[in-house]
Chains A and B, each alone.
Chain A
Amino acid sequence: SGELMDLIRREGQRMTAAQPSETTVGNMVRRVLKVIREEYGRLHGRSEESDQQESLHKLLTSGGLSEDFSTPYPPLRANVIEAINELLIELEGTTDNIAMQALEHIHSNEVIMTIGYSRTVEAFLKEAARKRKFQVIVAECAPFCQGHEMAVRLSKENIETTVMSDAAIFAVMSRVNKVIIGTKTILANGALIAVSGTHTLALAAKHHSTPLIVCAPMFKLSPQFLNEEDSFHKFVSPQEVLPFTEGEILAKINIHCPVFDYVPPELITLFISNIGGNAPSYIYRLMSELYHPDDYEL
């Protein structure tokens, strides 16, 4: 199984190098590697209680250095395939699992704010709308204005929706009860990489002490930190910001169109994922359950 893991790791490195901002690819590779380690450990006869992580306890009690994965076991392949199928089933059910928690968090006559378009948040709000009546304010999230699509979909379910520009976020925040957003990635310290404009929303919510709830499935949790590579910075064509028809000005100015924003963990109140609600300070624990520390660097 050591060879299998090396193969998977190599493929994972190639895929993540191709598009570094799509962190879920790397996350899934790490999950599969953890599955393989677990199945190997189970067959190797190690008890399931034993901690795979580095810990002070392990430093003191282990008899030798870490194991190698060279012993072949015929049933390993079938076990791994079964475990991966379970993983697939879990992934398919994530949006429903998150939506099922909607009723605990949304109450009648509340004003909810969100930004841009997130399928998870859409399902979350739709599920709550079946039993409760509330209003939603959607920030349009320029320059792609995906907020418009979100508003159309929500209003089809008879939810009272208002669209407003990003500049009005702070002005309206005093009337909002909760902010619910989706995200692209959750980092290891509990921070977010989310769509551009989310940091503004988070700061406004903090200023008014409005709870900020992030709905995101566990496969978005990535064991990386914000550091020198800054590979999450993705810039697209500035055509959206200033179209090419404005030819004369283009030579004299620099235009950027970043896609993502970094939101620090202090601004977030709660993470709602397919395994339940958690505080940002608890993220390190969820990470140790999903991934093995040797796999953090693919």
Chain B
Amino acid sequence: CLADLIETFRAQLRDDPDVASAVAAIRVLLGFLKQDRGETIQGLRSSLLAAIETLSGVDSSVAVLSGGELFLRFISLTSLEYSDYSKCKEIMIERGEIFLRKVSLSRNKIAKLCHPFIRDGARILTHAYSRVVLRVLEAAVESKKRFSVYVTESQPDQAGQKMAKALRKLNIPVTVILDAAVGYIMEKVDLVLVGAEGVVESGGIINKIGTNQIAVCAKAQNKPFYVVAESFKFVRLYPLNQQDVPDKFKYKADTLKTNQNLTEEHPWIDYTSPSLITLLFTDLGVLTPSAVSDELIKLYL
């Protein structure tokens, strides 16, 4: 049954490359909930925890963890309201569907909030491949703005090239630059816009490796650093430095399973502290980094 879970998850990610991995995880977990034969909330929780473990084994990114935690929280909140298990399960399934529908609208909400911040003639710097940033830039093009974009190549998987291709399709002038050229290009740029894989409690973000460097350069040259992220990426971590980010997020799932000595491996993500971020655009509104922890507290306490 858990093996089917892995298959369904992989299939979801394959068939719909545009969907965020957290949403795919939540969809899979909802399907798992529908098929669950248990009779108690405790049983449900433990089987869900096992399911989330397996999903992290497929895709070890922060987003899957945040999606899973959100789903667990959703279960706990609903179970507090209804004591009868079968009624509770019906309500959960209904609310789960509504949640998935709302979440699919979140990228458009963010694009609507963010595109007024892109002025005519702006030069934007972005990092690696982010579907949310792509949506924001699409919205800016639709509102007839002219701007140009610099994308970092983003080694080791050259995700920046993928981003550049997608932007060229929208007729946006794009230049791909080396990761090392960020300091050089920063003086030409008007604003920096990046996505996030996870937003942590302090208001900082976890994103593809290289983001921290860009944020530091932007701060040094007084350029605004904007982050776009959906609210389901908020996660209950509080790293104080790079070492505090758990190893299970830094490396791909296969590497964690096969390799014992991680000091030779290159990490895939880094942590950017909230003092370097100007504003976060989420489907809950435009937030300053200090507002993020408020949102998390409202949910989890």
Contact = CB atoms under 8 A, between A and B. Distances in A.
Interface string B214-245: 00000000000000000110100000000000
A56 B288 contact: no
A57 B299 contact: yes
Contact of B288 (A59, A61, A62, A190): A190
A229 B299 CA distance: 34
A293 interface: yes
Contact of B95 (A55, A56, A60, A227): A60
Interface stretch (B28-36, B73-81, B126-134, B154-162): B73-81
A169 interface: no
A64 interface: yes
A214 to B, nearest CB: 17
B291 interface: yes
A293 B283 CA distance: 11
Interface in B51-104: 70, 73-74, 77-78, 94-95, 98-99, 102-103
Interface stretch (A75-83, A194-202, A278-286): A278-286
Given A228-B119, A284-B287, A56 B231 contact: yes
B197 to A, nearest CB: 17
Contacts of A104: none
Contacts of A63: 94-95, 98
A57 B74 CA distance: 9
Given A228-B116, A228-B117, A54 B298 contact: no
Interface string B117-156: 1111000000000000000000000000000000000000
B99 A281 contact: no
B143 to A, nearest CB: 10
Contact of A59 (B102, B118, B120, B291): B102
B171 interface: no
A54 B98 contact: no
Interface in A224-257: 225, 227-229
A interface, how many residues as a size bin?
A: 20 to 34
Contacts of B102: 59
Contacts of A173: none
B286 interface: yes
A9 B278 CA distance: 30
A67 interface: no
Given A55-B284, A61-B78, A282-B290, A189 B118 contact: no
B247 interface: no
Contact of B284 (A54, A227, A283): A54
A262 B98 CA distance: 42
A136 interface: no
Interface string A41-67: 000000000010011110111111000
Contacts of B295: 55-56
B279 interface: yes
Given A56-B70, A60-B95, A293-B285, A229 B116 contact: yes
Interface in A152-192: 188-190
Contacts of B119: 227-228
B291 A284 contact: yes
Interface in A264-298: 281-285, 293, 296
B298 A284 contact: no
A134 to B, nearest CB: 33
Most buried by B among A59, A189, A296: A59
B116 A61 contact: no
B77 A61 contact: yes
Contacts of B99: 59-60
Contact of A281 (B78, B286, B290): B290
Interface in A57-102: 57, 59-64
B70 A60 contact: yes
B187 interface: no
Contacts of B290: 281-282, 284
A60 B73 contact: yes
Contacts of B95: 60-63
20 contacts: A54-B283, A54-B284, A56-B231, A56-B234, A56-B299, A57-B298, A59-B102, A60-B70, A60-B73, A60-B74, A63-B94, A63-B98, A64-B98, A228-B118, A228-B119, A281-B288, A282-B290, A284-B288, A284-B290, A296-B285
Given A54-B283, A62-B98, A227-B119, 15 more contacts: A51-B298, A55-B298, A56-B232, A56-B234, A56-B298, A59-B231, A63-B94, A63-B95, A189-B279, A190-B288, A225-B117, A227-B117, A228-B118, A228-B119, A229-B116
Interface of A: 51, 54-57, 59-64, 188-190, 225, 227-229, 281-285, 293, 296
Interface of B: 70, 73-74, 77-78, 94-95, 98-99, 102-103, 116-120, 231-232, 234, 278-279, 283-288, 290-291, 294-296, 298-299
Task: For the complex of A and B, list the 10 residue pairs with the smallest distance between their C-beta atoms, beginning with the closest.
Answer: A56-B299, A281-B290, A284-B291, A60-B74, A57-B299, A227-B116, A55-B298, A54-B284, A228-B119, A227-B117
